[in-house]
Amino acid sequence: MPSSLLSSPFSYLTSNTMINLFLSPSKSMLSRIIWMLFVIPSCVFAVDELHQRCSGPFSCGNKEELLFYPFWRSGRENCGHPDFKLDCSGEFPELDMSSVKYRILSMSYEDSPVIRLARSDYIGNLCPPDPRNASLSESILQLVRDTDLLTLYYDCNYLLPPGSVGSYIRVLGCGYERGGRTSYYVTRNLSSYLLKGISDLLYNFTTLCSRNVSIPVSRQALDELEESISQDNLEKALDRGFELGVNNDCSQCIESRGACGYSQNSRSFICYCVDKPHSRTCRDTGLSTAAKAGVYSFLVPFDQTP
């Protein structure tokens, strides 16, 4: 036995097999196997683990197979933006932003991708025990046009004269005010020209009231509230939540048979493809002609001709 076989039997077998393949046409089937094993890039066989992990929607709470990027859950690391990890331990999927929880009500990727959220602490409850403001980062999700800010002022040391400020500011009875203090809510964005006459008063509310909280709400829901002022309609407006638009990066990636994810290195969206990650889509895969041929022939029977 040649000494090369003793030192490296695999290399000996490979080299001699490759020589015999060219000498004997009857080895055509084996030649294809060898070609696939050694010529096709290893990335074709070792299909990107992240592409597999991040492909398709995922379930969380009562949302079954409906959620995509930028959201992610445990086990799907690198499949979503770091700021959008979901808590799936309860009945409803929840997102924590600025120490405030938001419930995911719905999500659609048809036409213009849209997600609907509602603040968990305000669902069915106008007066949570710890009302707090929370900022929304719009770098990934942007508020849609049909959205306005509803502002609630709690425990204010000021009593508005009845009918003095029109229909845009109303009393909010929470039950924990004492000594003539009260709470209010404003149904228009504080920068609205409709509030120009009371802008100074509202500015003073930041010091006259214990807390103030601004929450995105559907403009349509607020219009309905202004037409029929009631605590029930205010609660319904908050329960309906608000919509955020999702950029088209993920939709385009999915259309090109990629999987949406996030690159920790570039700190940006990334599209995982079977060959390698791409910045947006898999349309330009970068595979060589030989590699592409190998990808599409895994399911083609080998030539059995001797």
Task: Mark 65-95 as b/e (b = at least 16 C-beta within 10 Å).
Answer: ebbbbbbbbeebbbbbbeebbbbbeeebbbb
Give percent of the chain with pLDDT exceeding 70. 74
What integer pLDDT is reported at residue 165 of this predicted model? 59
What integer pLDDT is reported at residue 171 of this predicted model? 87
Higher pLDDT, 4 or 131: 131
Residue 118 has pLDDT above 90, yes or no: yes
* Arithmetic mean of pLDDT over the chain: 78
Residue range 181-205, pLDDT digits in tens: 889 999 998 888 888 878 888 888 8
Tokens 């990808």 identify what position? 295
Residue range 39-85, pLDDT digits in tens: 444 444 434 688 988 988 899 988 887 788 999 998 898 999 998 99
What is the mean predicted confidence (pLDDT) over 141-165? 84
Residue 112 has pLDDT above 90, yes or no: no
What is the mean predicted confidence (pLDDT) over 3-7? 40
What integer pLDDT is reported at residue 72 of this predicted model? 93
Confidence band for 163, pLDDT divided at 50, 70 and 90: low
What integer pLDDT is reported at residue 250 of this predicted model? 87
Residue 297 has pLDDT above 80, yes or no: no
What integer pLDDT is reported at residue 17 of this predicted model? 40
What integer pLDDT is reported at residue 292 of this predicted model? 45
User: Which of these ranges, 100-104, 182-186, 274-278, 286-290, has the smallest mean pLDDT?
Assistant: 286-290
Residue 175 has pLDDT above 80, yes or no: no
Structure tokens at 36: 């696939």
User: Which of these ranges, 30-34, 239-243, 296-300, has the smallest mean pLDDT?
Assistant: 296-300
What integer pLDDT is reported at residue 14 of this predicted model? 40
What integer pLDDT is reported at residue 192 of this predicted model? 86
What integer pLDDT is reported at residue 13 of this predicted model? 33
Residue 160 has pLDDT above 90, yes or no: no
The residues, any chain, with a CB within 8 Å of residue 64's CB and separated by 6 or more, are none
